[in-house]
Chain A
Amino acid sequence: MIKRLIRISGFVGKEVRELVRQPRLLLSLLLGPFLILLVFGAGYLGTAPRLRVVIVVPNTPAFAGQDAAIRTQFSKGVDVIDLTRDLEAAQIRLRNGGIDAVIAVPADAAEKIGAGAQAIVPVYYNEIDPISEGRIVLGTLQYTNDLNKETVAAAFKQGQQGAGNVNDALARMDTALGRISDDLGRGQVQDAQGQVTEVRSGAGVLALSAGLMLQLLQTAPVAGPQSTAQQQNLTRTTGAITSLNSDVGALQSELAQPVPDPTRVRAHNDAIRNDLRALQGVTTQFQKMNAYVLAAPFYGQAQNLARDKPTFLNFYTPGVLALLLQHIAVTLGALSMVRERLLGSIELFRVSPITPGEILTGKYIGFTLFLAVLAALLVALSIFVLGVPMAGDWFWLAGSLLLVILASLGLGFGLSMISKTESQAVQLAMLTLLTSVFFSGFFLSLNSFIMPVQYAAYSLPVTHGIISLQTIMLRGREPDLFYPAMLGGLTVLFAAFSMWRFSREFRRG
């Protein structure tokens, strides 16, 4: 047993010394990733640039002299590079590059909308990058949404101006009610009856307008439960409209009597004035409302419950750490056994008391020690220099990093068992890196892939490493046990495969 430990420790020392003897390798392994992260953090904007567009205005008399207005109307969220009336020239310019999109103002928008159909605003683009295409399509939707909002807000503004007529009606009614009281006081019943027609007319307009305003205001319930005051206000307004009609009818009936009772007329007048005061409140409320709020009454306000404000640097750093550790471990493992084979030392080991298990164990421990130190330095640089948060438990972080290293080394040793030359080993290590970049969830979500691809992605240590490190460092909680369990399982699987192949090679005569 002691001799076994001596043999294993010999390999540990040999591997560590060989790595430490390569200062350039150490420098590139440590400073390389750090500099990449630093440049990424400092240089990545994280926001898509504004679309550069050319607007094509219909070459019709109706749009003559409208360039400034159209430029204003159609420039929401985009940079208008030019305004033209030549669609073909604009499209050629698009194909030649330099602009992102061409927006064609529809010539028949008014007719279409008037006929109850949507007016189509064609947006042309020329993209080969699907991500950029998605940005333009999304930008187009956002653009038309803004355009619609502007249009609806303009309509509301006109409606609010119309509310001034309601106030006029209220004033006319108030005056007529005063005159009714005066006429009755003077015994001029017929004059009073004449004034009641004005009141009825005003009440009709008022009831209609207030009803419309009420309908608009009543859209509020879809946003959630109303406040008690708002509910009472709406109830009072609804009651006021009903009451106004009823009170105006009662006043009209009383004045239609041969001898109207002044007391009852006064009572009806007072009731109508009360109704008018209530309705005047609704009208005032309507006029005070922001047209843009009425056009877009809802605004989604996102609130992040995550511990730290997400940044691209913070989000990608745990992934980069996992990816780099996997890549370095896979490369070291893959090259290590191939080099021993090419050097001829395997032949020497075969006539020595050492076993394949002891060789692999020694290499495992040696590389793990080296990579653990490297991981610790990279984590320290990320946290204390780049400012990446470490919200979780250090024990979990260390454990997860260790499992990523062990599983990745196993994968590397496995690749070395099927590689005949160093270039094959390097090629396989690079393919593993490329696979990891695409399928590990590093920058494309795992959920974006079909299930068989997702299952394949789970065979990569980095897939579990990224999720674990992000959960620990950024969310501040321990990862689901599935991920460390999978890393442990992969370690056992890869190590068993490597051991089987190496033992077979070792014994072969």
Chain B
Amino acid sequence: MSQPTSQPTTRSAAPTLPRTATAPAAPVAPTRKAVIQVQHVSKSFGDTMGVDDLNFEVYEGEIFGFIGPSGSGKTTTMRLLNGIYTPTSGKVDLLGCDPAHPTRALHEGFGYMPQQFVLYSNLTVYENINFLAAVQGLGWRERKGQIENLLHFVELWDARNRLAANISGGMQRRLELASSLIHNPRLLFVDEPTAGIDPVLRGKFWEEFRRLRDSGRTIFVTTQYVGESEYCDRVGVIRKGKLLAVATPLELRRLALHGDVVDLEAATLTGEAVRKLLIQPFVVKEAGKPLYQWRAYPTTIRIHVTDAGDTIPQILSLLQTENIEVTSLQEYRPTFDEVFIELMGGPDSGDPEA
């Protein structure tokens, strides 16, 4: 974690992550069927390693976010999963098939929304989606209702007769999303859908993803906006081609911070009381040293604990025995930006956009 104030502190060594460890499986995982299984997958381009020894699973009906800075290997991973790339080593299982040797049934089973706008600027919104419906082999009658539903879903029905060249960037992304859903796929790959669009529209996108998930679809989405992690059911964090962690957003936070964090504020906080507090077993220690930072010496201190819910009553009890009047004691929830900076190994190790 970064030092939040300029006050002199006795900050312990920064928490370090087990870089190669995989986060504990999400609670949803054991009860659901894996639609994507990635086992020791690597991909190199000549002498350059794209991704290295990826291992994870994506379960049916979840939003799986794949987060990392630019050039970290997000798009390469997505292309390995949907069969555009063939792994140099390892195995990918997509909907029960090898995507490197796809069948038509496999292609009909998932949708793909690439990072860039790949639709045709000289065609109207309707013609673009109609073309992609034909590419998917949907008959005229079958596609008519589906197109109308999807254009309503992405709020483009009123713009259906406008040329794709004449609609905004956000509308183009929504058109792409609708096009990727035209064949009603079980699984949707979405590559950085919110890149370069305004926060309001980004929120709408995530709202649409949640609606899709709630309708039973699985969504594999890459993003470089760290804050979007909290919209996902599970998140994979990648840096320089290596998968750092796979976890739920909450677990990711605990993983980054080695537990929970509480902020304690007391007007009469003595050194003796603090010493007693920091030797308690619920205080997280690294190399035998407790993890804490003075937020405002000597009144406010931030302490890393194993579990905030269990620990707060114990802290209150301890301070009462020391006759210290507590002004404030509450769990601190760091932003995902802070979490990712921790995960990436400090502010200089990556550049995820806040």
User: Within the assembled complex, what's the spacing in Å between the Cα atoms of A246 and B164?
Assistant: 111
User: Within the assembled complex, what's the spacing in Å between the Cα atoms of A17 and B123?
Assistant: 7
Which of B19-27, B134-142, B209-217, B345-353 faces chain A?
A: B134-142
Interfacial residues of chain B within 125-174, with CB under 8 A of chain A in the complex: 127, 130-140, 163
User: Within the assembled complex, what's the spacing in Å between the Cα atoms of A21 and B110?
Assistant: 32
- Nearest residue (CB) in B for A355 is B104
Which of chain A's residues have a CB closer than 8 A to the CB of B127?
13-14, 17
Please tell me if A58 contacts chain B, counting CB pairs below 8 Å. Answer: no
Shortest CB-to-CB span from B239 to chain A, Å, is 24
Our pick among A3, A7, A344 for the contact of B114 (Cβ within 8 Å) is A344
Please tell me if B202 contacts chain A, counting CB pairs below 8 Å. Answer: no
Contact between A348 and B114 (Cβ–Cβ < 8 Å)? Answer: yes
Please tell me if A258 contacts chain B, counting CB pairs below 8 Å. Answer: no
8 cross-chain pairs, A with B, having the tightest CB-CB distances, nearest first: A10-B134, A509-B86, A3-B137, A344-B118, A21-B122, A353-B104, A353-B107, A351-B112
Which of chain B's residues have a CB closer than 8 A to the CB of A11?
131, 134-135
Our pick among B82, B116, B138 for the contact of A6 (Cβ within 8 Å) is B138
Contact between A13 and B134 (Cβ–Cβ < 8 Å)? Answer: yes
B interface residue numbers (CB < 8 A to A):
82-86, 100, 102, 104, 107-108, 110, 112, 114, 116, 118-120, 122-123, 127, 130-140, 163, 189
Apart from A3-B137, A7-B137, what are 12 other A-B pairs with CB-CB below 8 Å?
A: A6-B134, A10-B131, A13-B131, A18-B120, A345-B119, A348-B132, A349-B135, A350-B83, A351-B83, A351-B189, A353-B108, A354-B135
Please tell me if A96 contacts chain B, counting CB pairs below 8 Å. Answer: no
Shortest CB-to-CB span from B213 to chain A, Å, is 21
Interfacial residues of chain A within 293-344, with CB under 8 A of chain B in the complex: 343-344
- Nearest residue (CB) in A for B131 is A14
Contact between B118 and A345 (Cβ–Cβ < 8 Å)? Answer: yes
Which of chain A's residues have a CB closer than 8 A to the CB of B82?
351
Contact between B85 and A509 (Cβ–Cβ < 8 Å)? Answer: yes
Contact between B135 and A18 (Cβ–Cβ < 8 Å)? Answer: no
User: Within the assembled complex, what's the spacing in Å between the Cα atoms of A14 and B104?
Assistant: 22
Which of chain A's residues have a CB closer than 8 A to the CB of B112?
348, 351
A interface residue numbers (CB < 8 A to B):
2-4, 6-7, 9-11, 13-14, 17-18, 21-22, 343-345, 347-354, 509
Contact between A343 and B123 (Cβ–Cβ < 8 Å)? Answer: no
Contact between A351 and B107 (Cβ–Cβ < 8 Å)? Answer: yes
Shortest CB-to-CB span from B167 to chain A, Å, is 15
Shortest CB-to-CB span from A359 to chain B, Å, is 9
Contact between A7 and B134 (Cβ–Cβ < 8 Å)? Answer: yes
Shortest CB-to-CB span from A156 to chain B, Å, is 78
Say whether chain A's binding surface is mostly helix, strand, loop, or mixed: helix
Contact between B110 and A353 (Cβ–Cβ < 8 Å)? Answer: no
Q: List 9 A-B contacts (CB under 8 A).
A: A13-B127, A21-B163, A344-B114, A344-B116, A348-B114, A348-B118, A348-B132, A351-B83, A509-B84
- Nearest residue (CB) in B for A19 is B122
Which of chain B's residues have a CB closer than 8 A to the CB of A10?
130-131, 133-135
Contact between A7 and B135 (Cβ–Cβ < 8 Å)? Answer: yes
Which of chain A's residues have a CB closer than 8 A to the CB of B104?
353
Which of chain B's residues have a CB closer than 8 A to the CB of A344?
114, 116, 118
Shortest CB-to-CB span from B164 to chain A, Å, is 11
Quick one: which of B84, B118, B135 has the most chain A CB within 10 A? B135
User: Within the assembled complex, what's the spacing in Å between the Cα atoms of A6 and B137?
Assistant: 6
Which of chain B's residues have a CB closer than 8 A to the CB of A353?
104, 107-108, 135-137
Given the interface pairs A353-B107, A509-B83, A509-B85, the reply to whether A343 lies near B134 with Cβ below 8 Å is: no
Our pick among B83, B122, B136, B140 for the contact of A17 (Cβ within 8 Å) is B122
Shortest CB-to-CB span from B144 to chain A, Å, is 13
Which of chain A's residues have a CB closer than 8 A to the CB of B114?
344, 347-348
Shortest CB-to-CB span from A22 to chain B, Å, is 7
- Nearest residue (CB) in A for B99 is A351
Contact between A347 and B108 (Cβ–Cβ < 8 Å)? Answer: no
Shortest CB-to-CB span from B19 to chain A, Å, is 28
Contact between A18 and B84 (Cβ–Cβ < 8 Å)? Answer: no
Which of chain B's residues have a CB closer than 8 A to the CB of A354?
135, 137
Contact between A509 and B123 (Cβ–Cβ < 8 Å)? Answer: no
Which of chain A's residues have a CB closer than 8 A to the CB of B140?
6
Which of chain A's residues have a CB closer than 8 A to the CB of B134?
6-7, 9-11, 13
